[in-house]
Amino acid sequence: MSDFESQIRESQTQVEAAQAKTRELTSRIEAARQKMEAGQDISVDIENASLDDVHAHSDQMNANIAELIMGLDDVTAGFQSDFDELRSKTGWESFVGIFAKDRSESMRQERLRTASIDDKLQDLIAKSDTIVGLLEGQLAVLEDQKTKVEGNLGDTLQERETVVSELEAVKAEISGMDPAIITLENKISVETDAAARTALETELAEKNAQYNELVRQEQVKLARSQTLERYIEKGKTWVDSLTNQAATQMVLINKLQTDTKQRVVLYDALTKSLKTAQQQDVAHRINEIGVKTDQEAQTAMAAIGSATNSRMAEMLEKHEDHMVFARDVLEQKAKADERFARRFSAIVEKHDSNTYGG
């Protein structure tokens, strides 16, 4: 197994670990919601729902995949040298050409015919697709968990709004009772008739009991509001984290998909360049042969030349469309590279300076 394939396996393991941590944290938040609905204390559940462990796994996973992407870029850059080698003769082919030019050219054409650059490109694209598959799987999990938490969060926000409204109503009722209680207390302090005083004291006791009940309700609703607030705060933080993680996955996916387009364009451009160079070599040889042939052969060469010119004209006309498409892809790649480099600057710097393990 190659180092690159080992890295992909490692990335798969890290993606699975990150997904497990993501689901675990969402489950803890959902469990807290269920306990809260049952009137149980959720302090422990909320405190245990820490994002640190999730972020550690996600950061490690993204760093590993970012290094994989940089590795794919290095392999892509190596394609140019592969094509350069095919475009020119090998040392042995050049040596054979000293004694047998046709044999030398035949050897080169056979080498071109059996060249495995297409296989290398397809392998590179397959590896890109494998990584994209990992990232899209992780993105799907993040979006699914985000939907779950947002659903719970929406219900909790509505519930807290109701609780806060009820709390304010209780506070207003308590404040409204204060003047009545003070008035009764003043009446009792100046009342000399025993029966009247007893009646006032009975009324005051009822008012105090009502007041105490309202205070108890205030405490219960305040505690409920604070509990809901803690849950909302944790939920919002988790949703923000999921959103940021999803954005990171999208940057990586965009970078890989744009790179794949660029690799196809690169292969197509270099292949056409290689074929054009070979056609020019063949045309040059035909021209040399034509000088030594009779008039009939020259006429045939003229027809071949006319057909070749027509074909070359068609190729040149198509070249403009190809270049416009290639330019668009390169512009997309530049933007994708810029977003990638901005988010993964540490990985890019390590790669460029070759300071792995430092």
User: Mean per-residue pLDDT for 261-283?
Assistant: 63
Amino acid at 310: S
Tokens of 145: 């968990």
* Residue 144 pLDDT level (bands cut at 50, 70, 90): very high
Position with higher pLDDT, 326 vs 17 = 17
Is pLDDT of 35 > 60?
yes
Position with higher pLDDT, 263 vs 190 = 190
* Residue 89 pLDDT level (bands cut at 50, 70, 90): confident
pTM, to two decimals? 0.67
Q: What is the largest CA-CA distance in the chain?
A: 149
CA dist., res. 323 & res. 308, Å (int): 22
CA dist., res. 343 & res. 116, Å (int): 35
Tokens of 307: 């057909």
Give the list of residues 6+ apart from residue 115 with CB closer than 8 angstroms, or none. 86
% of the chain with per-residue pLDDT over 70: 71
pLDDT digit string, tens, across residues 285-296: 444 444 444 444
Tokens of 31: 């469990």
Give the list of residues 6+ apart from residue 33 with CB closer than 8 angstroms, or none. 42, 152, 156, 231
